[in-house]
A = this chain, B = another copy of it.
Amino acid sequence: MIQQLGLIGCGLIGGSVALALKAAGTVRHVVGYSPSPTTTERARALGVIDTAAESALRAISGADVVLIAVPVAATERTFKTIRELLPPGVLVMDVGSTKRDVVDAARRVLRERVTQFVPAHPIAGKELSGVEHADALLFQGKRAILTPLPQTDATLLTKAEAIWRACGAEVRRMTPEAHDDAFAAVSHLPHLIAFAYFASILQQKEADEFLALAGPGFRDFTRIAASDPAIWRDILVSNREQVLAQSTRFRGALDVLERTMRDTQGEALEALISGVSQARSHWRLNKR
Contact = CB atoms under 8 A, between A and B. Distances in A.
A261 interface: yes
A195 to B, nearest CB: 5
Nearest to A244: B258
Interface string A210-240: 1111111111111111111110111011001
A140 to B, nearest CB: 12
B233 A262 contact: no
Contacts of A182: 206, 209-210, 213
Contacts of A287: 212
A143 B217 CA distance: 13
A198 B280 contact: yes
A137 interface: no
Interface in A103-139: 123-125, 127
Interface in A258-287: 258, 261-262, 264, 266, 269-277, 279-281, 283, 285, 287
Interface of A: 73, 123-125, 127, 142-143, 145, 172, 178, 181-183, 185-187, 189-204, 206, 209-230, 232-234, 236-237, 240, 243-244, 246-247, 249-254, 256-258, 261-262, 264, 266, 269-277, 279-281, 283, 285, 287-288
